């Protein structure tokens, strides 16, 4: 913090030194304050249906359920592509055998009619 205070003192002196004509070039001191916050969590799980346990186990690791539930109705091909992207690109630790269950769940609950 000590160094920060020095910097601000310097800025104030500089502002006086250059006079009002150039005051806009030396903006008023700006103090940053340390912060500590808490982020809310979500306990939302997936709506009941065949495969819901596999969904809850695999699709809530990196993002909360809203990511999936706010999606529009998508084709089975599109859901298959998304689930494979989660595994290949984002390294979702999903068992190969569970992928079909997940795609079926998504197609049944959020599939394009």
Which stretches of the chain bind other proteins, using CB under 8 A?
A: 1, 3-4, 6-7, 10, 25-27, 30, 32-42, 44, 61-64, 66-67, 69-74, 78, 82, 89-93
Q: Which two tokens stand for residue 87?
A: 């595994």
Map residues 49-78 to x or -, x wherever contact with ligand HEC holds by CB under 6 A: ---------xx-xxx---xx--x-------
Residue 72, classed as helix, strand or coil, is: coil
**Closest CB to other proteins among residues 19, 28:** 28
Residue 110's contacts (CB-CB under 8 Å, 6 or more residues apart) are 68, 69, 71, 72, 73, 74, 79
């Amino acid at each position: 913090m000590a160094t920060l205070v020095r910097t601000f003192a310097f800025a104030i002196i500089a502002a006086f030194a250059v006079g009002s004509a150039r005051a806009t070039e030396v903006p008023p001191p700006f103090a940053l304050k340390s912060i500590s916050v808490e982020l809310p969590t979500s306990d939302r799980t997936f709506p009941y249906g065949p495969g819901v346990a596999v969904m809850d186990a695999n699709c809530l690791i990196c993002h909360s359920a809203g990511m999936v539930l706010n999606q529009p109705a998508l084709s089975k091909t599109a859901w298959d592509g998304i689930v494979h992207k989660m595994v290949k690109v984002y390294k979702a630790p999903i068992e190969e055998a569970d992928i079909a269950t997940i795609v079926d769940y998504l197609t049944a609950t959020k599939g394009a009619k």
